[in-house]
């Protein structure tokens, strides 16, 4: 027996849509979910005017202005909410985010640490040209260290930071971390050798062989890593950024890598937005540096991520349809300010 529609949801995220389309629990709870491409602006405006909820990874100004009086819930299919046009979004709309990406990002971090430490991309490129840079035949070929004993400093101890710590521990690395809310060092966290607050960043940098940025971008974290911080990480240090490009002063990072003041970097996020057409990742020539691994903001895009996010989204839509509060609320409807991003 069919259940009467209690909630209409417009879905613009094509990555979670296949999982939502096939999720029978939505219909069982009276949720009518329909896919509308974000760039189909005319249809999206009409659908939003009659919808109770919207599921999207981006929510720019135009759809925000078309949100009807009936729209009461915006589900962002990512952890970051910096792609929302907050000024145009009515304060009556509740906003929630989604996760499911911790393991995918953590595996990316581990992959880039190994690739960087073993000079993987450089060796691959040179061998394609016929050059055998191995100690078997070349006494000047670089050596490398195995992972056990490596200290990994993690900035941001949310889903991603903790997943990174789990994998680090599994392969013998030693994770230490800083979180926004901490005020003093503690050693009672089973995932970390120690954790502390933002004031401990200089000490974390001095102690770390690898620095992983996994925190949100806001006024308190923007450009938190500049020339002084990179110098503390040092010529043997590796910076892995899976948070946001704006966490790092891009010019300082390029200069440190080019000069050798920083050993290497693995960058999955950039200040330049991802684009469908060919677009340089940065106005600076990072692509000319052999001590940089460049990836196009893909660390979270495992199939497992979209499946798990779709489950979180479906659960929230079902909760709304039965008048239960959603999970992972970033801003409760009726509040004018964002409480957490």
**C-alpha–C-alpha distance, residues 114 and 84, integer Å:** 35
pTM flag (> 0.85): yes
**C-alpha–C-alpha distance, residues 25 and 317, integer Å:** 10
pLDDT exceeds 50 at position 226: yes
Average pLDDT, the chain: 94
Which residues form the domain of 58?
7-100+303-331
pLDDT of the residue at 2: 57
Q: Is residue 314 part of a domain?
A: yes
pLDDT exceeds 50 at position 337: no
Query: Inter-axis angle of helices 120-128 and 102-117, to 10 degrees?
Result: 60
Q: Is residue 2 part of a domain?
A: no
**C-alpha–C-alpha distance, residues 17 and 306, integer Å:** 9
Residues 221 and 72 occupy one common structural domain: no
Residue 54, classed as helix, strand or coil, is: strand
**Rounded to 5°, angle at Cα 330 from 325 and 334:** 70
Q: Is residue 269 part of a domain?
A: yes
- Band of the pLDDT at 64, cuts 50, 70, 90? confident
Residues 235 and 246 occupy one common structural domain: yes
Residues 174 and 278 occupy one common structural domain: yes
Residues 179 and 196 occupy one common structural domain: yes
pLDDT exceeds 70 at position 341: no
Q: 338 or 73: whose pLDDT is higher?
A: 73
Q: 319 or 334: whose pLDDT is higher?
A: 319
Q: Percent of the chain beyond pLDDT 90?
A: 90
Number of domains in the chain: 2
**Beta strands 292-294; 151-155: pairing state:** unpaired
Per-position DSSP letters for 184-215, written without gaps between them? S-B---TT-S-EE-GGGHHHHHHH-SEEEE-S
Q: Is residue 126 part of a domain?
A: yes
Q: Is residue 127 part of a domain?
A: yes
Q: What is the pLDDT of residues 105-153, one digit of tens each?
A: 999 999 999 999 999 999 999 999 999 999 999 999 999 999 999 999 9
Residues 218 and 130 occupy one common structural domain: yes
HSE-CB at 124 with a 13 A cutoff on CA atoms is 8
Average pLDDT over residues 157-169: 97
Residues 110 and 258 occupy one common structural domain: yes
HSE-CB at 339 with a 13 A cutoff on CA atoms is 13
Residues 141 and 178 occupy one common structural domain: yes
Q: Is residue 336 part of a domain?
A: no
Phi, psi of 17 (to 5 degrees): -60, -45
CATH number of the domain bearing residue 66: 3.40.50.720
Q: 69 or 130: whose pLDDT is higher?
A: 130
- Band of the pLDDT at 69, cuts 50, 70, 90? confident
Do 184 and 198 meet the contact criterion of CB atoms below 8 Å apart? no
Average pLDDT over residues 160-183: 96
pLDDT of the residue at 227: 98
Q: Is residue 1 part of a domain?
A: no
- Residues whose CB is less than 8 angstroms from the CB of residue 119 and which lie 6 or more positions away in sequence, other chains included: 133, 142, 144
Q: Is residue 337 part of a domain?
A: no
Residues 142 and 54 occupy one common structural domain: no
Of the ranges 67-71, 152-156, 189-193, the best mean pLDDT one: 152-156
pLDDT exceeds 50 at position 336: no
Q: What is the pLDDT of residues 263-284, one digit of tens each?
A: 999 999 999 988 888 999 999 9
Residues 133 and 49 occupy one common structural domain: no
pLDDT of the residue at 326: 97
Residues 184 and 268 occupy one common structural domain: yes
pLDDT of the residue at 340: 33
**C-alpha–C-alpha distance, residues 61 and 294, integer Å:** 30
Residues 147 and 176 occupy one common structural domain: yes
Residues 137 and 261 occupy one common structural domain: yes
pLDDT exceeds 80 at position 334: no
């Amino acid at each position: 027996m069919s259940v009467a529609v209690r909630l209409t949801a417009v879905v613009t995220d094509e990555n979670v849509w296949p999982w939502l389309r096939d999720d029978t629990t939505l219909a069982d709870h009276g949720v009518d979910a329909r896919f509308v491409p974000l760039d189909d602006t005319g249809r999206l405006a009409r659908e939003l005017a009659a919808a109770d909820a919207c599921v999207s990874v981006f929510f720019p100004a135009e759809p925000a202005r078309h949100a009807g009086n009936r729209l009461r819930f915006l589900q962002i299919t990512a952890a970051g909410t910096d792609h929302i046009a907050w000024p145009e979004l009515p304060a009556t709309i509740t906003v929630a985010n989604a996760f499911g990406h911790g393991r995918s990002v953590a595996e990316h971090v581990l992959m880039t640490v190994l690739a960087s430490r073993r000079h993987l991309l450089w060796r691959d490129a040179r061998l394609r040209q016929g050059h055998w840079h191995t100690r078997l035949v070349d006494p000047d070929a670089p050596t490398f260290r195995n992972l056990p004993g490596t200290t990994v400093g993690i900035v941001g101890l949310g889903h991603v930071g903790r997943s990174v710590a789990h994998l680090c521990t599994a392969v013998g690395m030693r994770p230490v971390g800083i979180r926004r809310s901490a005020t003093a060092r503690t050693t009672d966290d089973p995932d970390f050798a120690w954790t502390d607050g933002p004031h401990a960043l200089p000490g974390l940098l001095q102690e770390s062989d690898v620095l992983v940025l996994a925190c949100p971008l806001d006024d308190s974290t923007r450009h938190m890593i500049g020339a002084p911080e990179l110098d503390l990480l040092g010529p043997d240090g590796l910076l892995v950024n899976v948070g946001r490009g704006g966490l790092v002063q891009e010019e300082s990072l390029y200069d440190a890598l080019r000069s050798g003041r920083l050993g290497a970097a693995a960058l999955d996020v950039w200040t330049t937005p991802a684009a469908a057409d060919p677009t340089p990742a940065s106005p600076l020539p990072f692509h000319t540096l052999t001590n940089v691994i460049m990836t196009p903001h893909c660390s979270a895009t495992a199939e497992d991520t979209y499946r798990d996010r779709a489950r979180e989204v479906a659960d929230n839509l079902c909760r709304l349809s039965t008048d239960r509060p959603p999970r992972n609320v970033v801003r409760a409807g009726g509040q004018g300010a964002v409480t957490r991003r």
